[in-house]
Each structure stands twice: as structure tokens, then as C-alpha cells.
């Protein structure tokens, strides 16, 4: 379906359809850096695709913004639930899988808002503080000597063996210990860790008259590394500070631009993994990006127009 026609002839549109069309256009732009593509290093085509993308986005951004706002107003309670579950789950997953939390910035109001809105008689284990404590305890224990005789037996009576500073027996023992700790943490009914319970929990909450959230609530907008828009744009500009480097060919200049475009947090790319399957997936992809994409596109297309003059 031609999305331009779709937007012109319909008062409402699918957010999922918009994300699909956007991703298709992005794929065409990124063919410039794809060595398997016949358009590899085709500067003129890449510039035109970038200009077309900006024009298309400008034409449709107000309508998409309205659709995103309407979707939130119509589905606010479910958006609230899915936001808090995804936010808390991602934070804990980083701790469980990587023993760190740096990739996910937990919002300062997360715990107080979650605790205040979930009904006291909820039949599910929704205790985020306890889930956080379990993961922190796992991380602390992972740094200690295993207390499991079977794991200690992996290295018992054996000299250190391996290459350079690594010992195979030590690594095997560490791997077995971390796997045991992970399994212990994951053996729970807490919905932030046992994610298979989340869909049933959402249905239960939406049917619970005691579940209430503020009428004007909106998900916090997170810009890749910060919740502050101004800080984010300083990062955007810093990442593009070498646009005016001298002594480069048009291909080299364009490759540098495409590399900046091809980045989720500071470029044009919408995060599409896992592949969006629902309107909620599309909503969350667009929510924090819709206000910033146009500004970023305009910066990069200005550079494209400069490169165009080199021919």
C-alpha cells in the first residue's frame, strides 16, 4: 500500500503501518553502505533518498503525532501497564544477564508510581523492590566464592590450566556458579521476572475497578541516554561535529553521514528488534522519537545538500 495515499484518504491510520513504511524507506537509505547492494556507494541516490525521507516525514509527522496522542488517550491504562512492565523487566534483565544496570535508566518516579497505582488486593506478585533485591543479591553472590560443593569440585585438586591469565577450571566454575544463581532468581512468580504472567496480569488489571491511574499520565520520554531533551541534542551535535572535515571525497563524506543516520539513539533508525507486531509496539517505538526525528533529519539533510554541491 502507498502510505502517502493512505494518509491522504484516511482520517486515522495504523501506527504499525507507519513504522513498516518508515523502516522500508530507511532500508533504502542504508543500501549506500551495503556492499551486497547495487546501490553501494551511490552518493546521488543516497542523497535523494534522504531528501525524500525528510519530505515524506514532514508531510506526515503532524498526523502521526495526532494518532500517537489519540492512541494514548484511548488506551492509557494499558499503555501504563505495558510501559511499567517493560521498563522494570528490562532493568532487571540487564542485572540478571549482564550483572549491571547501566544500559537501562530506571525513571526516578518508577517505584512510587507503580506502588501507588497497583491495587492492594492484586493476586499477582508485583513487588518490584523485592525483585530488585533478589537480583542485587544474586550479583553480590556472583562475586563471592561458590558455596556449592559440586561447583567447587570442578577445580578441586587441579592446578590452574589455560592460556595467558585465564584458567579453564576457574572459568568453568564461574560459569556453573552464575548459571545456578540465575536459575534461583528466575524461580519466582514475580511478574517482573516471570514475564509469561504479564499478559494475564494486564487483562486482570484492566478488569479491576480498583486499578486507577492519573487521567493525564504520559510515559516519560527517554532519549537514548537521558530524559532531558537539551542534553540529548548536545549529544546529537557532538556526534556530528566532524561533518565539515576537509580533504574527503563525496563518497567518504556521505559514508560518514550514513553512519550517523544508521543509529537508533542518535540517528534516524527506529528500534525494530524484536519486530513490532502490535499497535502497542509501534506506539512505544514512536513515543520518544517522534519529536526529535524531524530535527535530526534536517541536520543531516543539510549536510547532504552540501555534499551535493561537490559534484
Q: Burial letters for 260-292: b for 16+ Cβ neighbours within 10 Å, e otherwise?
A: bbeeebbbbbbebeeebeebbbbbbbbbbbbeb
Q: Which domain holds residue 28?
A: 3-78+100-106+217-298
pLDDT confidence bin for 144, thresholds 50/70/90: confident
294 within domain boundaries: yes
Per the structure block, which three cell numbers stand in for 194? Answer: 516471570
Examine the pLDDT at 103 and tell me if it is beyond 80.
no
Report d(CA 227, CA 230) in Å as an integer: 9
pLDDT digits 0-9 by tens, 181-239 = 889 888 999 999 999 999 999 999 999 999 999 999 999 988 877 888 899 999 998 98
Report the length, in residues, of the chain: 311
Question: Is 300 in contact with 239 (CB distance < 8 Å)?
Answer: no
Per the structure block, which three cell numbers stand in for 248? Answer: 574527503
91 within domain boundaries: no
Report d(CA 93, CA 2) in Å as an integer: 39
Per the structure, the count of domains in the chain is 1
241 within domain boundaries: yes
pTM greater than 0.75 (yes/no): yes
The candidate with the shortest Cα–Cα distance to 23, out of 287, 269, 262, is 269
Q: Give the per-residue pLDDT at 248.
A: 82
Residue 125, φ and ψ in degrees, nearest 5: -80, 105
DSSP-assigned states of every residue in 223-264: -SS-S-HHHHHHHHHHHTGGGG-SS--HHHHHHHHHHHHS-T
pLDDT digits 0-9 by tens, 155-185 = 888 888 877 678 888 889 988 998 898 898 8
Amino acid at each position: 500500500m502507498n502510505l502517502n495515499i493512505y494518509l491522504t484518504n484516511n482520517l486515522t491510520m495504523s501506527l504499525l503501518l507507519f513504522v513498516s513504511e518508515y523502516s522500508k524507506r530507511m532500508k533504502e537509505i542504508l543500501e549506500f553502505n551495503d556492499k551486497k547492494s547495487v546501490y553501494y556507494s551511490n552518493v546521488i541516490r543516497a542523497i535523494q533518498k534522504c531528501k525524500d525521507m525528510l519530505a515524506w516525514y514532514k508531510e506526515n509527522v503532524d498526523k502521526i503525532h495526532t494518532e500517537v496522542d489519540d492512541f494514548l488517550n484511548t488506551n492509557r491504562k494499558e499503555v501504563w501497564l505495558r510501559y511499567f512492565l517493560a521498563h522494570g523487566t528490562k532493568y532487571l534483565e540487564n542485572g540478571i544477564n549482564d550483572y549491571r544496570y547501566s544500559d537501562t535508566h530506571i525513571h526516578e518516579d518508577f517505584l512510587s508510581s507503580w506502588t501507588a497505582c497497583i491495587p492492594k488486593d492484586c493476586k499477582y506478585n508485583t513487588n518490584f523492590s523485592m525483585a530488585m533485591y533478589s537480583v542485587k543479591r544474586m550479583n553480590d553472590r556472583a562475586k563471592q566464592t561458590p558455596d556449592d560443593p559440586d561447583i567447587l569440585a570442578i577445580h578441586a585438586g587441579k592446578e590452574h590450566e589455560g592460556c595467558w591469565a585465564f584458567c579453564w577450571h576457574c572459568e568453568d566454575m564461574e560459569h556453573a556458579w552464575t548459571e545456578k544463581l540465575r536459575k534461583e532468581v528466575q524461580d519466582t512468580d514475580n511478574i517482573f521476572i516471570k514475564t509469561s504472567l504479564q499478559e494475564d496480569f494486564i487483562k486482570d488489571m484492566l478488569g479491576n475497578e480498583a486499578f486507577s491511574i492519573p487521567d493525564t499520565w504520559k510515559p516519560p520520554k527517554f532519549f537514548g541516554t537521558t530524559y532531558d531533551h537539551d542534553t540529548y541534542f548536545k549529544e546529537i551535535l557532538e556526534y556530528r561535529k566532524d561533518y565539515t572535515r576537509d580533504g574527503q571525497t563525496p563518497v567518504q563524506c556521505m559514508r560518514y553521514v550514513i553512519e550517523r543516520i544508521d543509529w537508533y539513539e542518535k540517528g534516524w533508525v527506529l528500534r525494530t528488534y524484536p519486530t513490532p507486531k502490535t499497535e502497542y509496539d509501534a506506539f512505544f517505538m514512536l513515543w520518544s522519537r517522534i519529536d526529535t526525528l524531524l530535527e535530526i533529519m534536517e541536520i543531516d539533510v543539510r549536510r547532504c545538500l552540501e555534499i551535493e554541491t561537490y559534484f
